[in-house]
Amino acid sequence: MSAPSPGAKPLTSLDWRGSSLPGAGNLAICGARVLDPRSGIDGERDIVIRDGSIESIGEAGSLPADLDGDIEVIEAGGLTAFPGFFDPHVHLRTPGQEYKEDIETGTRAAAAGGYVGLVAMANTAPPVDEPSTISALRKRAAAEASVPTGFTATVTRAMKGEELTEMAALRDAGAVAFSDDGVPIRSANVFRRALQYQHLVGGTILLHQEDPALSGDGVMGEGDVSAALGLAGVPPVSESTMILRDAELCRYEDATAHMQHLSARISVEAVEYAKQKGAPITAELTPHHLVLTDEEVRSLDARFKMNPPLRSEDDRQALIEALKSGVVDCIGTDHAPHATTEKEIPFEEAMMGVIGLETAFPVLYTELVLPGLVDLATIVERMTAGAALFELEVPEIKPGAEANIALVDLEAEWEAGAEGWESRSQNSCFAGRKLTSRPVMTIVAGRVAYRQRAFRLGAVA
Ligand SMILES: [Zn+2]
Ligand SMILES: [Zn+2]
């Protein structure tokens, strides 16, 4: 992804309950291995944070014994400090479906996953299509969110794909982007008009790419496994044809859009082609599409039911290549909570979607980094890059930057879900999996947004 624009705002320009979190924004993190592919650091360092910003980064052991002022010292030897992660694709389910998730639980799950910011989708009940709803959500986030949270508004009224929302007024109310995620924008003409407004009012358009006519009644990826199970499949062209159509419209209107959750090799090819032609688009991958295939669906366990669906090993390999090459810009979880009663039922009837905030980094580290498929720096780069989609500063560990940091124990071994979840829902496709690595502390603007219970403090000066 290109460098963040000069006008990028700090993550804390989004809403969160910053000043009510523990700490005063003064911390010293001592002896952690600091790994930040953007600032080019990989080594043991001491980081001093004052008033929410990184004051200095020195060699490990270089801190004066008598650090002055009100500063909490965190002994972090053996841990790794990354720039905090940013998730451009989260379903917080509020307003209207708080039995699945809300701002408080969803952002707590994010903080527990090492995330220092996120953007919530607008396919709530009702959908977020009025400026007053954006204002109300922002107020709630300012009181309840553990990490800075941005809200999208829908592109079309009630997500019906017919009439555009008042995009300028929604931007004025603070919508960070637009999305009808959950469903595609069927009409090319409606999307074209949305792009014309996008060009004027800013805020990228996030696209769930799927041609409903091609997806039909599909409940899983179309292929050998769907044929063997006798289940209706969604063909990969359902996704790629819409990507090509919309990328052409972006190029024609010189307006930006973001292709969410790519699932197939031909979708990657479509994005690559469009970018080569100069279309101002970006694209995203989820941990579940990078790690799992449709073979999981043989279990008929609805924890493996999501949209877009899991696909073949060949598709998965293409996604991994796209992650490495940069054809795909960032990783988003598509964290999609559902109640047990909506998931622990026959596969064909179950809702689509999985939670993902608390497992994203550990899953990618365990399944892609440790086997040598993708290097750690690339994972960190793609897990932070999503902030740039919203003209926000991408988290970086460098002097002067807002102190947004994920402190991770790369050696921790744990079983996903064994201790329960911070999320209100538990529909994880990784539940029960043995994972290596775990975030132990998440710092947003120098404040402790999450601290693992088992992670003991150093001295408090
Ligand atoms: Zn979607
Ligand atoms: Zn989604």
Q: How far is the CA of 330 from the centre of ligand 2 (A)?
A: 15
How confident is residue 168, by pLDDT bands cut at 50, 70 and 90? very high
Which residue, 237, 230, 356, 240, is CA-closest to 297? 230
Residues that place a CB less than 5 A from ion ligand 1: 181, 208
**Cis geometry, peptide bond prior to residue 64 (ω within 30 degrees of 0):** no
Contact 87, 335 (CB under 8 A): yes
426 torsion bin: left (phi>0), alpha (psi -120 to 50), beta (else):
alpha
Q: Is the pLDDT of residue 81 over 70?
A: yes
- Average pLDDT for 292-318: 98
Task: Determine the pLDDT at residue 353.
Answer: 97
The number of the ligand nearest the C-alpha atom of 210 reads 1
Least confident of 20-34, 136-150, 317-331, 338-352: 20-34
Which residue, 215, 209, 423, is CA-closest to 335? 423
- Average pLDDT for 454-461: 49
- Average pLDDT for 74-86: 97
Q: Is the pLDDT of residue 157 over 80?
A: yes
Contact 303, 343 (CB under 8 A): yes
| CA-to-CA dists, residue 30 to 27, 68, 72, 140, 303, angstroms | 10, 15, 11, 35, 40
Give the 3-state secondary structure of 238-267.
Answer: HHHHHHHHHHHHHHHHCCCEEECCCCCHHH
Distance CA 283, CA 274 (A): 11
Q: What percent of the chain has pLDDT over 90?
A: 92
Helix axis angle for 313-325 and 265-276, nearest 10°, is 30
How confident is residue 133, by pLDDT bands cut at 50, 70 and 90? very high
The number of the ligand nearest the C-alpha atom of 88 reads 2
Partners of residue 56 on adjacent β-strands = 48
Task: Determine the pLDDT at residue 456.
Answer: 54
Q: Is the pLDDT of residue 3 over 80?
A: no
Q: What is the DSSP string of 339-356?
A: -HHHHSS-TTTSPP-BB-
Q: What is the mean pLDDT of the chain?
A: 95
Just list the catalytic residues: 334
- Average pLDDT for 447-458: 78
Task: Determine the pLDDT at residue 57.
Answer: 97
Q: How far is the CA of 285 from the centre of ligand 2 (A)?
A: 11
Distance CA 117, CA 105 (A): 14
Q: How far is the CA of 79 from the centre of ligand 1 (A)?
A: 34
- Average pLDDT for 280-294: 98
Q: Is the pLDDT of residue 5 over 90?
A: no
Task: Determine the pLDDT at residue 22.
Answer: 76
Q: How far is the CA of 313 from the centre of ligand 1 (A)?
A: 21
The number of the ligand nearest the C-alpha atom of 120 reads 2
Q: How far is the CA of 177 from the centre of ligand 1 (A)?
A: 15
pLDDT (tens digit per residue) in 254-273: 999 999 999 999 999 999 99
- Average pLDDT for 309-334: 98
Which residue is listed with tokens 């389910």? Answer: 93
